[in-house]
């Protein structure tokens, strides 16, 4: 998408932020905090600018593809090794098995034998 050319953040980060704001109606400061938990430092005023610029464009493009999403979801938990460190990986899945969100939690505890 040429609309995202020259942006500091990747397109995927911008789209996730705009989607979460529009879908769940959370505040910009809460969204800033949520992104900080995922390791992305972005200011709430930047989030405001993204929503003002990209929300109308996204709404126009996805309106024809919108379908019904189920109200039920579940959490999947697993224990994996990432870059030599053990971590829990939590995933929220909808009724179709599509990933809604994920959260890795790294463990900094050394296991003694």
What pLDDT is attached to residue 113?
A: 40
pLDDT over 90 at 4, yes or no:
no
pLDDT in tens, 34-78: 999 988 899 999 999 999 998 888 888 777 666 555 678 888 888
Mean pLDDT of the chain: 81
Calpha distance 87→20 (Å, rounded): 25
DSSP labels, 65-95? G-----S-EEEEEEEEEETTEEEEEEEEEET
- Which pTM does this prediction carry? 0.54
Average pLDDT over residues 6-15: 85
What pLDDT is attached to residue 69?
A: 58
Nearest by Cα to 31 from 103, 101, 40: 40
Distance from first CA to last CA of the chain, Å, rounded? 52
pLDDT over 60 at 12, yes or no:
yes
The domain segmentation of the chain, as residue ranges, is 2-65, 73-106
Supply 113's token pair.
């034998």
């Amino acid at each position: 998408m040429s609309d995202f050319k020259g942006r500091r953040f990747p397109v995927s980060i911008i789209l996730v932020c705009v989607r979460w704001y529009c879908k769940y109606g959370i505040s910009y400061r809460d969204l800033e905090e949520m992104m900080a938990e995922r390791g992305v430092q972005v200011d709430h005023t930047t989030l405001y600018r993204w929503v003002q610029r990209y929300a109308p464009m996204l709404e126009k493009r996805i309106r024809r593809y919108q379908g019904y999403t189920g109200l039920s979801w579940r959490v999947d938990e697993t224990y994996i090794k990432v870059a030599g460190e053990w971590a829990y990986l939590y995933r929220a899945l909808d009724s179709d098995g599509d990933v809604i969100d994920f959260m890795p939690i790294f463990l900094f505890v050394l296991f003694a034998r």
